[in-house]
Homo-oligomer: A and B are copies of this chain.
Amino acid sequence: MPKVGMEPIRRAALVKATITEIGRTGSLDVTVSKIAKRAGMSSALAHHYFGSKEQIFLAAMRHILTLYGAEVRGALAAADGPEERLRAVVRASFGSGSFRREVAGAWLNFYVLAQTQAEARRLLSVYQRRLRSNLLHGLKPLIGERAEVVAQGVGAMIDGLYIREVLKGGTPDGAAAASLVWGHLRREMGLKA
């Protein structure tokens, strides 16, 4: 059975399993064995590739950030003008890549992780800066100096919607969340359309 070149496959499987497992149980209290089992291997192998549980968690966080980044880039590519760009950012935040149940559940738990692990905190701040900068770029040309405050508020609103999504069970409704935020943004801008 043993083939060569397994490393990237195993790593990817573990990352995916980690997100699922954290999302499912709703806590960081997942064992390496559980994760490994879900990924179809022994816990020893998980340690072999990642060295520690901590590293597994961080890889999972990085993966979610990568997903989110890709989603934003994709949405922005087809956007023209500040308003369109804003809309794209909001839509991407609640796109199917980031706003799925397990992913959002894992995300909340990574906030907790960030309180104790420096690298996790760093990753989280990367996300926050990126979101803030994306919002600002769209808002500045439209509302000038007030952009700062609005971006802060809307950023917090997005984070809050993630939390609420995780809490209430069932399938997440990204479209509803996006339109809620978009409505607020529209009113914050000139009330157009």
A residues sitting closer than 8 Å to B (CB atoms) are 25-28, 105, 108-109, 111-112, 114-116, 121, 124-125, 128, 149-150, 152-161, 163-164, 166-167, 180-181, 183-184, 187-188
Contact B116 A25 (CB under 8 A): yes
Neighbour of A156 across the interface among B125, B150, B157, CB < 8 A:
B157
Residue of B nearest to A157 (CB): B157
Closest 7 pairs between A and B when the two form their complex, measured CB to CB? A26-B115, A156-B160, A160-B160, A159-B160, A157-B157, A156-B161, A156-B157
Q: How many copies does the complex hold?
A: 2
Alpha-carbon gap, A183 to B145, bound state (A): 14
The interface residues of chain B lying within 8 Å CB-to-CB of A187 are 187-188
Alpha-carbon gap, A1 to B115, bound state (A): 39
Contact B112 A26 (CB under 8 A): yes
